[in-house]
Amino acid sequence: MERNLAVREFGRTGLSITPVGLGTWAIGGGGWAFGWGPQDDERSVKAIRRACELGIDWIDTAPVYGLGHAEEVVRKGVAELSHRPRIFTKLSLRWGADRQIFHSLKADSVRDEVKASRKRLGVDTIDLVQVHWPDPEPDIEEGWRALAELKDQGVVRHIGVSNFNVAQMERAAAIAPVETLQPEYSLVEPAAEKEILPYARAHRIGVIAYGPMGYGLLTGAMTPERVARMPSDDWRRRNDEFKEPRLSRHLALARLLADIGKQHGGRPPAEVAIAWVLANPAVTGAIVGGRSAEQVEGFVGAMTLRLAPEDLERIQTFRAEHP
């Protein structure tokens, strides 16, 4: 499974991207249903600029992150860069005046979302727009057709999907090619490796995986005490993976990753967790969230980390013993 991690062909898009991209879910801040708690915008801007300084050449965001705020922060973060990264965003999750989130894949909604994202991001053309969720499912064809039309018009360069299963990708592909896929994939949530990733590889669909560090569980910094101290508006407090007995399993895995990292010159467990995701031949890149320049510095080395066969075997043994 050894691969060149310097840059990777992104499916059939014609793009080549670094194996790690910066995720911006957390920098959207708190105050909405799936926020990560309070976040300082200046720290976010520094994280974006540091990521680009260290060689990351793409950023993944979404309108719903902070209800528009993350896209605005991304615009500020890249504004003064001499070499701007590619920006990937999404659509289908909207919100009303009451800040309650709802799903829409109606054609008018797709067009409105792309227009709003272009304004918030300060760009005429968005590098990649992805359908965030296949919901409402009966409207997949309508939404995908509208997005394909926007690509034909030149306001979107590439189109992809996120959280789609194989059957849903095939429905979309009957209208226009699915260029990219964004699935959740990590040692905490590896289900995509059963059907979704093999399908993407067989059809040359570029894959950028989200959640590679298990939302902090595999960084080596998570503890039961830290979970207990999470802000009330941090969505992770409600997630079963952060509760027993799952929490203890994941923390034990993080310790194994730390031990493996020591064998690679003291690499942090976060980098090992990301490198494991990148070792899957179907995966083009991993989306890694960073809320500060220091956090970015703690994972960017994953772009050059290759796990040895014996490392992968140790991880697989743990998975078999702790399903």
Burial class (CB in 10 A: 0-12, 13-18, 19+), 85: buried
Q: Pairing between strand 285-289 and 20-23?
A: parallel
| Token couple for 270 | 């976060």
Backbone angles phi, psi at 216, to 5 degrees: 105, -15
Peptide bond before residue 269 is cis, with ω within 30 degrees of 0? no
Q: Which residue type is seen at 197? A: L
3 state SS of 162:
strand
Burial label, 161 (beta-carbon count in 10 A; 0-12, 13-18, 19+): buried
What φ, ψ does residue 285 adopt, rounded to 5°? -150, 165
| Torsion from C-alpha of 114, 116, 121, 125, nearest 10 degrees | 40
65, 185, 199, 215: the catalytic one is 65
User: Any catalytic annotation for residue 65?
Assistant: yes
Class of residue 267 by CB neighbours under 10 A (exposed 0-12, middle 13-18, buried 19+) = buried
Helical H segments across 154-195, by residue range: 166-173
| Closest CA relative to residue 33, chosen from 61, 63, 62, 66 | 66
**Residues assigned a catalytic role:** 65
